[in-house]
Chains A and B, each alone.
Chain A
Amino acid sequence: MSKKTKIIISSFILVMIFLAIGLFIIRQVYNQLQNELVNQYAQENLTLAKQTALTLEEEIRSTEDKLRLISKLPEIRDGNTELCNRKLVEIAALNPRISNIGRVGTDKKFKCSLNKALTGTDAGKLGPYISQIFRDPIHKPVMSRVIKVPAGGYAVALHVPVIDESGEFAGTVGGAIYFEEFSKKFLKDIKVSDQGYIVLQDDNGTIFYHPEKELIGQNIRPKTQQEAATASAITNLIIKSSIDGSSGTSRYVSTLDNKEKVGAYAPAEVSAGRKWIVIVTVPIENILDSPLILKTRDVFGQLLLLVVAATIIPLMLLVLYLILSVFRPIENIGKAATEIGKGNLEVKLPVKSYDEIGKLAKVFNEMAIKLKSSYEELEQRVIKRTAELGTKVEELEKTKSVTLNILEDLNEEKAKIMNEKAKDEAILTSIGEGMIVTDEHGEIAKINEQALVMLGFKEEELMGKWITKALKAEKEDGTEIPIDERAMAEALTTGQKVTQKLNYFRKNNTKFPASITVTPIVINNKPIGAIEIFRDITKENELAHLKDEFVSIASHELRTPMTAIKGLISMIFEGDYGPLNDNLKEPLTDVAHSTERLINLVNDMLNVSRIEAGRVKINLSNFQVKSAIDEIVNVLQPIAKDKNIYLKAENIDSFSVQSDNDKLRQILNNIIGNSLKFTDKGGITVTEKQSNDLLNIYVTDTGMGISKEDQNKLFGKFQQISTQQAGRPVGTGLGLYVSRELARKMGGDMWIERSEMGKGSVFAFSIPIAGSEKAKKSKEQISKEAVANPDQK
């Protein structure tokens, strides 16, 4: 809310408050004035009431005094009826206000009376009050209540004692005071202002003077508790006054005419303890209708008008101001906004003030200006752009034809690529092997149909999953594969191609043996993904097993006849069957050689099948390698001698190695034997060298050497050197394979250290040194495999 608005509102509120306060004060003053006036009247009336009471008392007392004087007259005192009656007429003429004067004797009987009819009658009949004066020891004067006179009007009777010459009480003399006469005499002169009036009540409450004649003679005092409760305020005060003689004023509502009145009351102790009450009453409305009040009211009315005018004029001005300074400008802004909405951007608002409204108008103008300028700018831009577009369209039209030509070419290319892709897809789907492509984290990015069929998964179940988690696997022997030993993990960390055999689990938790090859996709020495190719090798394993069985059985079955042939031939040569015909010697020698080859072949095949079936039993022990080398060298020495070449072991220290004694000899026998076969001059030297945990044994020959091509194939099954020479002893092609497998099984390896055609070769193999870490590992591995393959034969 702005400061201005605040000021406006607070001034408005202030004005209203002033107005309210002004009106309140005026009312208060007016009321007070009224009250003041009423009180003034009341006091005036009270004074009047008191004066009236005094006058009444004076009148009654003067009457009483006259009666006392009369009682002292001898004619009256003596009570001679005749004399007395005469005298009474005389007295009555002198005292017109006292009527019916009479002389009562001590017997309470009228001795004489102005009303002759009363003479001789009992005065007691007039009222019980007469008796008081007779009973009273000091004989005070007595007065009757106000009584209705049968002839009309009201009157009281007053009697004073008569004292005889001897000072004795001799009866009374009294008369009646007629009120009509009485009031005429003195009440008529009393003027009560503003139509007020005087009411007289006797001590009994009976009204004996009232301007309204019907009320005279009525007694308005409450007769029951109920009436007392509803009686007007002044009634109770009057009762009180008649008891204790108090006087006062009261503002009350009359029970007679329901008018609000202000009254004053005062007792008049008229005679003999009787109290009359003088009441002076003025209706309030009469007071308020008085010219003073009317004039006051006029003044107050003007005052009120002044106050209201003083309040309303600023208010009007305020409203006018608001209309001019706030509503009009806002309306103008509204109109202007509508104009702008219609598109008329030329609108400008007059800025008349610097208040909020003024600011608003100013901002509005700025906005309108900006709107206009940006609209114009926009229009110009549109024109410019349209022009530009025109040229562009032309250009586009030109390029369109060119593009269309390119598109045609592209479509052809696309078709070609699609064809290629379809071919690739077809290859991927049709290859019998499962294929999974992963990203650099091993998350599956592509998987072919075959893989899904083999694994029993749906494509969406594997896409984006981590291959080593999504595909459960175990080693061939059923043991767990740590995740980092999985082919995929190895390939991605090393960047090398990894081949592994394992059992894959299908989705339904059945498993199948698989041979997998993971080839990492390496770009800039960083693997960006890998391709895993795998196949179910259940059938292969079965076949391998069958083959193994076959080889094993065949070998055993072959061996017996071989042994027989071999034995028989040797026995023939030895003459066990008599002298040998020379003609038969050559063919029998050939039979012997062939048999030897056959036996070697069978033995090697048996070894291979055992190795591949994992059934080679390795009996590890620690022994001196020197003794094994010496023994083999000694055994083969004759062959070297026959060929006229040397065979020696050099610098062999007494290393203790961990190996299978028999297998070590078999390996030595194999590689030294090979060297012997292919060396015609020079000779063979066996050396050794420690390399960390391993002892390397080298067999160096000066033989024909092996070509690079053959070196790669040499350790394969049934591999023979291509340059077989006629007459060269023929091997089975399994020896090196078996030897290397055995070396590996025992924790070592076998390799060609170097070889040069025509100069010779160096074959090497390694065995763990006893007690080394490598030896321990190798031992653990072998015992684990022994547990996994308990059915070794």
Chain B
Amino acid sequence: MKRILIAEDDLTLSKMYKTKLENYDFEVLQAMDGEEALKMSLNIHPDLILLDIDMPKMDGLTVMRKLREDVWGKEVPVIIFTNQEASDDRLKDILENHPAFYLVKSNTEPWEIVEKIEEVLHMK
């Protein structure tokens, strides 16, 4: 069973994605802020991280950068999952330097996320 870490500060959304993913036989871990997300990632080593950008304590982009500095974290697939547009400079910078996937939250149905995760993990 693949382990997915959801880094999302909105509890409703987090719960929603958890439900959806568990229905598709994923083990789901939840982090409610950036620091927690980084900590859990480095301790638990999930198979994929669904990473929000706007989070308390540490934003998703910092989490991403720190992950990529770690030996394990360098390799782990990350789907940046946000309402920020890809044209945003910060996001663009991260995506260019640290290969990751990207989805726009408001345009993405829960099933589309499952599809994307399966796609990414399959590719791996």
When distances are taken between beta carbons in the complex, the residues of chain A under 8 Å from B17 are 567
Q: Are B106 and A599 in contact (CB under 8 A)?
A: yes
For A564, list chain B residues within 8 Å (CB): 10, 12-13, 16
Distance from B45 Cβ to chain A, minimum over Cβ atoms (Å): 27
Residues from chain B with a CB closer than 8 A to the CB of A566 are 106, 109
Contact A559 B106 (CB under 8 A): yes
Evaluate whether A563 and B13 lie within 8 angstroms (CB atoms) in the complex, with A571-B20, A576-B19, A599-B106 already known: yes
B106 touches A570 (CB 8 A): no
Contact B23 A576 (CB under 8 A): yes
Q: Which of B26-34, B60-68, B81-89 contacts A (4 or more CB under 8 A)?
A: B81-89
| Cβ contacts B87-124/A at 8 Å (1 or 0 each) | 11100000000000000011001110000000000000
Collect the chain A residues with CB atoms within 8 Å of residue B16's CB.
564, 567-568, 571
Contacts of B23 in A (CB 8 A): 576
Chain B, 29-50, contact with A by CB distance < 8 Å: what is the 0/1 string? 0000000000000000000000
Smallest CB separation, A594 vs chain B (Å): 15
Is residue A562 within 8 Å, beta carbon to beta carbon, of the partner chain?
Answer: yes
Total interface residues on B, CB under 8 Å, equals 20
Closest A residue to B22 by beta carbon equals: A576
A577 within 8 A of B: yes
- The residue that A570 contacts in the complex, of B88, B105, B110, with Cβ under 8 A, is B110
CB closest chain-B residue, reference A567: B110
Indicate if the CB atoms of A563 and B105 lie closer than 8 Å.
yes
Asked if A560 contacts B83 (CB within 8 A), the reply is: yes
Decide: A567 near B13, CB < 8 A? Known: A576-B19, A577-B19, A599-B106: yes
Q: Is A350 in contact with chain B by the CB < 8 A criterion?
A: no
A712 CA / B79 CA spacing, docked (Å): 45
A87-129: which have CB < 8 Å to B?
Answer: none
Asked if A574 and B13 make an inter-chain contact with CB atoms under 8 angstroms apart, the answer reads: no
Main secondary structure of the interface of B (DSSP, over half): helix
What is the CA–CA distance of A293 and B86 in the complex, to the nearest angstrom?
Answer: 156
Interface residue ranges of A220-253 to B (CB < 8 Å): none
Q: Are A570 and B109 also in contact (CB < 8 A) when A662-B87, A792-B89 are?
A: yes
- Chain B residues lying within 8 Å of A185, measured Cβ to Cβ, are none
Complex CA distance for A571 and B54, rounded to whole angstroms: 24
Is the C-beta of A556 less than 8 angstroms from some C-beta in chain B? Answer: yes
Q: How many angstroms between the C-alpha atoms of A562 and B16 in the bound complex?
A: 13
The answer to whether A619 and B87 have CB atoms under 8 Å apart is yes
Asked whether A556 and B83 contact (CB < 8 A) given A561-B12, A564-B10, A567-B109, the answer is yes
Binary interface encoding of chain A residues 546-577 relative to chain B, with 1 for a CB under 8 A from any of its CBs, else 0 = 00000000001001111110111011001011
- Least Cβ distance of A317 to chain B in Å? 128
Cα(A571)–Cα(B16), bound, Å = 9
User: Would you call A507 an interface residue if the criterion is a C-beta within 8 Å of the partner chain's C-beta atoms?
Assistant: no
**A556-B83, A560-B13, A564-B12 are contacts. A571–B110 as well, Cβ < 8 Å?**
yes
Report how far A619 CA is from B96 CA in the complex, Å. 15
Min Cβ gap A94→B in Å is 188
Cβ-neighbour of A563 out of B20, B87, B106 (below 8 A): B106
Report the Cα distance A183→B106, complex, angstroms.
187
A:609-657 near B, CB below 8 Å = 617, 619
Is the CB–CB distance between A559 and B83 below 8 Å? Answer: yes
Q: Note all chain A residues with C-beta closer than 8 A to B85.
A: 617
Q: Write the chain A residue with the least CB distance to B83.
A: A559
Q: Is A325 close to B, CB under 8 A?
A: no
A441 to B13, CA, bound (A): 65
Question: Can you name the residue of chain A whose Cβ is closest to the Cβ of B9?
Answer: A560
Residue of B nearest to A564 (CB): B12
Q: Given A563-B105, A576-B19, A793–B88 Cβ distance below 8 Å?
A: yes
A560 to B10, Cβ gap below 8 A? yes
CA distance in complex: A647, B50 (Å): 37
A577, A603, A792: which contacts B106 (Cβ < 8 A)?
A603
**Closest chain B CB from A150 CB (angstroms):** 173
Give A716 to B105 CA distance when docked, in angstroms.
29
Closest chain B residue to A571, Cβ basis = B110
Q: Report B-chain residues with C-beta under 8 Å of the C-beta of A577.
A: 19
In the complex, A603 Cα to B89 Cα: how many Å?
19
By a beta-carbon cutoff of 8 Å, the part of chain B in contact with chain A is 10, 12-13, 16-17, 19-20, 23, 54, 83, 85-89, 105-106, 109-111
Give me 28 A-to-B residue pairs in the complex whose CB atoms sit less than 8 angstroms apart, sorted by A's number: A556-B54, A559-B83, A559-B105, A559-B106, A562-B106, A563-B13, A563-B83, A563-B105, A564-B10, A564-B12, A564-B13, A566-B109, A567-B16, A567-B17, A567-B20, A567-B109, A568-B16, A570-B110, A570-B111, A571-B110, A576-B19, A576-B23, A577-B19, A603-B106, A617-B87, A617-B88, A792-B88, A793-B88
Binding site for B on A (CB under 8 A): 556, 559-564, 566-568, 570-571, 574, 576-577, 599, 602-603, 617, 619, 662, 792-793
- 15 new A-B pairs (CB below 8 Å) besides A563-B13, A602-B106? A556-B54, A560-B13, A563-B106, A564-B13, A566-B106, A566-B109, A571-B16, A571-B19, A571-B20, A574-B110, A576-B19, A576-B20, A617-B89, A662-B87, A793-B88
